[in-house]
Amino acid sequence: METEKLKVVLADDHVLVRDGIKALLEDQQDILVIDEASDGREALEVVRKQKPDLLIVDIRMPGLNGIEVVQQLRDEGLDLKTLVLSMHDSEEYVLQSIQAGADGYLLKGSSKEEFLKALHTLQQGDKYFAGELSSIIINNFVTGKAPAPIQKPKASIVDAYSLTKRERQILGLVLEGKSNKEIGEDLNISKRTAEVHRFNLMKKLEVKNLMELANKASEFNLM
C-alpha cells in the first residue's frame, strides 16, 4: 500500500533558500512540495488555498514574520503542521514560536538528515525541536518564564556590512535567482560588470556560495 505523501508549502523570501529545500526534497518519495510563498501574507493565502499538511516557514519575512503566520493559522483553526526555520537559536524566538503554536523549530544550519527527521516526525503527528534547543524549552517550563516579544534588528546590526545602494540592488537580484546576464539587463550594465559586482558582494559578506549569501542576508536583515 502506497504511503500518502506529505504535502508541503515553503515560505521564505529568498528564492535560493526555497530552491535549496526543493532540491533536498525532490528525491523523497513520501514528501511533495505543492506551492511556495515569498512573504508572510502570501504564505497565509497559499495555505488557505492549497490546504497543505505542513508549512515550512522562515522566521523573518516581509509583511508578516514566520511566528505571526503560525499564530494566524492557529487562530483560524486550520489543520496543518508548522515548522519554523531560523538562523537563530535565541530563547525569545524559540519560545515565541512554541507560544504561537509551532509544531517544530529548526535551525537553517541543520544537516539534511536532521531536516528530514524533523519532517517525518511532524508527519507522524509529533513535535520536533532540535536537540540544542531542548534546554531552552525545559528551562522555560521549569521557571515559568514568559517569552519576550521579538525585537527588530538594531541599526548597528542591519548596517554591519555598510552595503551601497548598488550592492543592495545586486543582492536583491541575486536572491531572486537571476543570472549575471539578467542582472546586467535589469541594471543596464554589462554582464562582466554584473559578475564583478556579484564577486565583490560575496567577498564583502564573507560567503562562499549562494546559500550562504541568502542565509546571511536573512540573518542581518540586509534587504
- Choice between 146 and 15, residue whose per-residue pLDDT is larger: 15
Q: Does the pTM exceed 0.85?
A: no
Total residues found in the chain within this entry: 223
Inter-CA distances, 101 with 14, 49, 129, 152, Å: 24, 21, 13, 21
Would you place residue 204 in the very low, low, confident or very high pLDDT band (cuts 50, 70, 90)?
A: confident
pLDDT score, position 156: 37
E strands, the chain, are 6-11, 31-37, 54-58, 81-86, 104-107, 128-129
| Per-residue pLDDT reduced to its tens digit, 39-89 | 999 999 999 999 999 999 999 888 889 999 999 999 999 999 999 998 877
Would you place residue 134 in the very low, low, confident or very high pLDDT band (cuts 50, 70, 90)?
A: low
- The three grid cell numbers given for residue 85, joined into one nine-digit string: 526555520
pLDDT > 70: percent of the chain: 84
pLDDT score, position 211: 77
Select from 56, 63, 48 the least CA-distant residue to 12: 56
pLDDT > 90: percent of the chain: 36
pLDDT score, position 137: 55
- The three grid cell numbers given for residue 184, joined into one nine-digit string: 546586467
Q: How many helices (H) and strands (E) does the chain have?
A: 11, 6
95 burial (CB, 10 Å; 0-12 / 13-18 / 19+) is buried
- Choice between 175 and 136, residue whose per-residue pLDDT is larger: 175
CB atoms within 10 A of CB 164: 11
Indicate the average pLDDT of the chain: 83
- The three grid cell numbers given for residue 160, joined into one nine-digit string: 554591519
